Amino acid sequence: MAVKLDGKKLSIKLTNDLQVETKTLKNQGIIPKLAVILVGDDPASRVYVRNKHRMAEKIGIESLDLRLAKDTSEAELLEKIALLNNDPTINGILVQLPLPDQINADRITKTISPKKDVDGFHPYNLGRLFVNDPYAIPCTPNGIMYLLREYGISVDRKNVVIVGRSKIVGRPLAALMLNQNATVTVAHSHTKNLSEITRQADILVAAVGRVNFIQAQDVKPGAIVIDVGINRNAAGKLVGDVEQTEVGQVAGYLTPVPGGVGPMTIAMLMKQTIEFAKWSKQEK
């Protein structure tokens, strides 16, 4: 039976530590401030944004809740971002994804000042990550690395297979793993003989967005399996990309859904916002 990698528990511990840190910063006159922009009314995005504000409040981070109508134009959103870029009281800017079709997410990402890009999606920040000189690190991959470290799992010399090549998870996670001496394979929808490849993995990461995509026969016995998926199954239940019951019998470690990678994403966002607030005083 796989050991559960409990992101929920770990995120609570990290949140408590961050709460202590903001108290210390407050005594130095530093109050971290995060601006979160939500365009439209996607129900899942509304939940994530609400959770971000709640977590910020609990920790002692000021958060600005900016809601824009779903027919907002790209120009209007760019204007909003420009104002926040120039506002010295704002340490972090986040635009919740996905965006409505009329808005190009890449153009939006590139407009956020790299020094305020708490999501770490700006090409400047992704580039720094790829040359192993990170500034901002995307929250989900950063949360995965934090989770592994806290459970005493080193990636050094491990065969890591990441299924999914998105800009927000697969690609930055590959860089983070490589920077820590893992041997990394990134598989995707065009990969041949996928199961043969996933069975070589000491650490297998599933980030494809498809229910039950990874089955027990795709997993090497004893492997560490990280399930990044957040999907609704036919019954409307929240499930990941990994068929958890059978894989749980084969794997050595497994992240649950819910309660695995998801909560770490928000905790890492808070950590990054606090770091930005500190760095803004140090001109890092």
Q: Is 94 in the site for ligand LMY7XDAE (CB under 6 A)?
A: yes
- Residues 274 and 152 sit within 8 Å (Cβ to Cβ): no
Q: Does 263 bind ligand LMY7XDAE (CB under 6 A)?
A: yes
Instruction: Give me the residues paired with residue 162 across strands.
Output: 186, 205
CA distance 77 to 235: 36
Count of residues engaged in binding ligand LMY7XDAE, rule: CB under 6 A: 19
- Pairing mode, strands 238-239 and 224-227: unpaired
Listed ranges 54-62, 93-101, 156-164, 221-229: which one lies at the site for ligand LMY7XDAE (CB under 6 A): 93-101
Contact residue for ligand LMY7XDAE among 139, 162, 205, 219 (CB under 6 A): 139
**Strands in the chain per DSSP E:** 3-4, 33-39, 62-68, 92-95, 159-163, 183-187, 203-206, 224-227, 231-232, 238-239, 253-254
Q: Establish whether the linkage from the previous residue to 258 is cis, with ω within 30° of 0.
A: yes
Catalytic site includes residue 4: no
Does 12 show up as a binding residue in the annotation?
no
Which of the stretches 72-80, 81-89, 172-180, 261-269 binds ligand LMY7XDAE when contact is defined by CB under 6 A?
261-269
CA torsion angle 46 52 57 59 (round to 10): 160
Contact 277, 25 (CB under 8 A): yes
3-state secondary structure of 235: coil
Catalytic residue among 119, 218, 227, 241: 119
Q: Is 52 a catalytic residue?
A: yes
Q: Is residue 166 a known part of a binding site?
A: yes
**What do you get for the CA distance between the two ends of the chain, in Å?**
45
6 binds ligand LMY7XDAE (CB under 6 A): no
Nearest to 68 by CA among 96, 48, 32: 96
- Determine whether the annotation assigns residue 113 to a binding site: no
Binding residue for ligand LMY7XDAE, selected from 39, 230, 251, 267, defined by CB under 6 A: 230
Q: Does 47 help bind ligand LMY7XDAE (rule: CB under 6 A)?
A: yes
Task: Establish if 96 lies at the interface with ligand LMY7XDAE (CB under 6 A).
Answer: yes
Q: Determine, following the binding rule CB under 6 A, whether residue 112 of this chain makes contact with ligand LMY7XDAE.
A: no
Q: Is 172 in contact with 126 (CB distance < 8 Å)? A: yes
Does residue 12 touch ligand LMY7XDAE according to CB under 6 A? no
**157 annotated ligand-binding residue:** no
- Which of 134, 164, 248, 262 touches ligand LMY7XDAE (CB under 6 A)? 262
Among 238, 246, 278, 279, binds ligand LMY7XDAE (CB under 6 A): 238
- Nearest 5°: the CA angle 95, 99, 52 is 40
Residues that bind ligand LMY7XDAE (CB under 6 A): 47-48, 94-97, 119, 139-140, 168, 230, 238, 257-259, 262-263, 265-266
Which residues are marked as active site? 52, 96, 119
Q: Residues annotated in the binding site, as ranges? A: 164-166, 230
